[in-house]
């Protein structure tokens, strides 16, 4: 059985690993660390949650322990697709370099350029960055990449999904040879294969699991759901989500709930909070400080439910996530594997439950085709009740007054279906004014007020001066 002490890591790095409580490397660490220490380019393909971050941080710290960085010229570069993943990589460096004097800087959006410039000016051994912010500093002339000796690309397939591949190619072209490249990805799309063939030199290819496979420790299931009405489906779907959470009971210690759209992330988080569930959203449109507070609360257990877009699907290391709920079937099948990979980590058992509406069925087929198996169908915990209207957000048409018909009334003499014959009781009562107006004058019945006095209105009599004028003309 291989131990970290067998991998030729520096003594101070081994001390930090021991203090962190790790003794045995994962398969990707066992294969990648020796190759990286030998100075070889590494192409690592492994599913999320297999320990890829330590596969490059540990050998980097050992190699960078000797030497010193120059101002504005970092000695190593780690590229990450998201701010959260970059911050997590920085935390790993802090943990494993506790006994090694290394400087680092984190270049991500949402933080002022001035603070980052000050760190770069002092010189950093490890520069951890998202591609956009790195290029911003370089274009401003505040950062030189001439002295980079180790280049790391983490979660390369996520870089592809987010449109960062042109930036990655540009950064590679800025670097000066020679440098070592450590390239990690969960899947190998053709575009990523092209980049590795272009920029990696005779890499050691390490593939520790079949591409896009889910961990065997994760129990999966999907609920097929159709709303009672199209306009009620979103609300009823949120009802179903709460019922699924309640059905798990105490086993659901915490969970990440994934939505495809940022707007749905906010709506679902507010809905859960409204019904007493401890939930908060996280997506790319939120301020970085808010995203950091939310993640910290989830990691420490102060927050039970994290409602997230795919910004949180890759690389977030929260070891004890008991459940993952896919409120939507992901648009890209590979994202399903990365989403559910947030649970069942480090050999723990986890559970992943997904809700599939009729419009998601094609995406579900793509996910099952990628997995090579059918995801078990689950019975809705609400039964038929899931189709009932929700009190959470009643449709507008149910709360407004009925609209008046715009159909034009036909004239009295127009051809139309005959009205129902009046009952004898109706004939015994005075006819309404509208009906009297339509009847011949000779047939009209006089109207009386409550005192019995006959009510005379316009049209019911002829003024005397008119009668007189007519009489005079007739006589003349």
Helix axes 333-340 and 361-371, enclosed angle (nearest 10): 70
Q: Are residues 174 and 36 in the same domain?
A: yes
Q: What is the pLDDT of residue 343?
A: 87
- Whole-angstrom Cα distance, residue 92 to residue 221? 33
Q: Are residues 182 and 237 in the same domain?
A: no
CA angle 364, 368, 374 (to 5 degrees): 105
Residue 316's CATH number: 3.40.50.300
Q: Tell me the per-residue pLDDT of 289-314, one tens digit each, with 9 for 90 and over.
A: 888 889 889 988 999 999 998 865 55
- Decide: 367 and 336 in contact? Cβ < 8 Å: yes
Q: What is the pLDDT of residue 450?
A: 61
Q: What is the pLDDT of residue 309?
A: 87
- DSSP helix, strand, coil percent of the chain (3-state; round to 5): 45, 15, 45
Q: Tell me the per-residue pLDDT of 64-90, one tens digit each, with 9 for 90 and over.
A: 998 888 889 999 999 999 888 898 899
The 3-state secondary structure of 133-197, one letter per residue = HHHHHHHCCCCCCCCCCEEEECCHHHHHHCCCHHHHHHHHHHCCCCCEEEEEECCCCHHHHHHHH
Task: Give the total number of structural domains in the chain.
Answer: 3
Q: Are residues 224 and 175 in the same domain?
A: no
**Helix or strand run (H / E) with residue 291:** helix 288-300
- Whole-angstrom Cα distance, residue 179 to residue 453? 111
Which parts of the chain have pLDDT scores under 70? 48-49, 209-213, 311-317, 346-347, 384-476
- Whole-angstrom Cα distance, residue 377 to residue 353? 10
- Structural domain contains residue 420: no
Q: Which of 207, 230, 259 is the last residue of a domain?
A: 207
- Structural domain contains residue 409: no
Q: Are residues 108 and 224 in the same domain?
A: no
Q: Which of 399, 422, 450 is the last residue of a domain?
A: 399
Q: Which residues contact 250 (CB under 8 A, 6 or more apart)?
A: none
Q: Domain residues for 123? A: 4-207
How large a percentage of the chain has pLDDT more than 90?
Answer: 53
Q: Are residues 269 and 339 in the same domain?
A: yes
- pTM of structure: 0.63
> Looking at the DSSP assignment, which residues form a beta bridge with residue 326?
258, 354
List phi, psi (to 5°) of 151. Answer: -115, 125
- Whole-angstrom Cα distance, residue 120 to residue 104? 9
């Amino acid at each position: 059985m291989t131990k970290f002490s067998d991998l030729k890591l520096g003594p101070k790095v081994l001390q930090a690993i021991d203090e962190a409580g790790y003794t045995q490397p994962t398969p990707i660490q066992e294969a990648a660390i020796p190759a990286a220490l030998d100075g070889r380019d590494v192409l690592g393909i492994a599913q999320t949650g297999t320990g890829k971050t330590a596969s490059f941080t540990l050998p980097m710290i050992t190699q960078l322990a000797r030497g010193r960085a120059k101002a504005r010229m970092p000695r190593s570069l780690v590229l990450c697709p998201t701010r959260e993943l970059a911050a997590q990589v920085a935390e790993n460096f802090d943990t494993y370099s506790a006994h090694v004097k290394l400087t680092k800087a984190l270049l991500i959006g949402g933080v002022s350029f001035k603070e980052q410039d000050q760190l770069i000016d002092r010189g950093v051994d490890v520069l951890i960055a998202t591609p956009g912010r790195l290029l911003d500093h370089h274009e401003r002339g505040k950062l030189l990449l001439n002295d980079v000796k180790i280049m790391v690309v983490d979660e390369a397939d996520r870089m592809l999904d987010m449109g960062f591949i042109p930036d990655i190619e540009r950064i590679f072209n800025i670097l000066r040879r020679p440098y070592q490249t450590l390239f990690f990805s969960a899947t190998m799309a053709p575009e990523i294969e092209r980049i590795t063939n272009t920029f990696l030199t005779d890499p050691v290819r390490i593939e520790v699991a079949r591409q896009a496979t889910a961990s065997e420790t994760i129990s999966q299931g999907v609920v097929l759901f159709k709303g009672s009405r199209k306009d009620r489906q979103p609300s009823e779907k949120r009802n179903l989500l709460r019922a699924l959470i309640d059905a798990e009971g105490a086993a659901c210690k915490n969970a990440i709930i994934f939505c495809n759209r940022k707007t749905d992330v906010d709506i679902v988080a507010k809905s859960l909070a409204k019904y007493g569930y401890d939930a908060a959203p996280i997506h790319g449109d939120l301020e970085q400080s808010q995203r950091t507070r939310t993640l910290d609360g989830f990691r420490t257990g102060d927050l039970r439910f994290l409602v997230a877009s795919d910004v949180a699907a890759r690389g977030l290391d929260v070891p004890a996530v008991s459940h993952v709920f896919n409120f939507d079937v992901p648009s890209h099948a590979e994202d399903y594997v990365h989403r559910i990979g947030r649970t069942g980590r480090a050999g723990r058992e986890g559970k992943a439950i997904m809700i599939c509406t009729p419009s998601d069925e094609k995406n579900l087929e793509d996910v099952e085709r990628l997995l090579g198996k059918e995801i078990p169908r689950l019975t809705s915990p609400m039964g038929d009740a899931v189709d009932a209207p929700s009190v959470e957000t009643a449709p507008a048409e149910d709360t407004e007054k009925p609209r008046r018909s715009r159909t034009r009334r036909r004239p009295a003499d127009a051809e139309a279906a005959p009205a129902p014959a009046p009952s004898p009781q109706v004939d015994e009562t005075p006819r309404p004014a509208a009906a009297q107006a339509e009847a011949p004058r000779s047939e009209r019945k006089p109207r009386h007020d409550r005192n019995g006095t006959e009510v005379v209105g316009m049209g019911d009599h002829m003024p005397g001066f008119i009668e007189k004028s007519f009489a005079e003309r007739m006589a003349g």
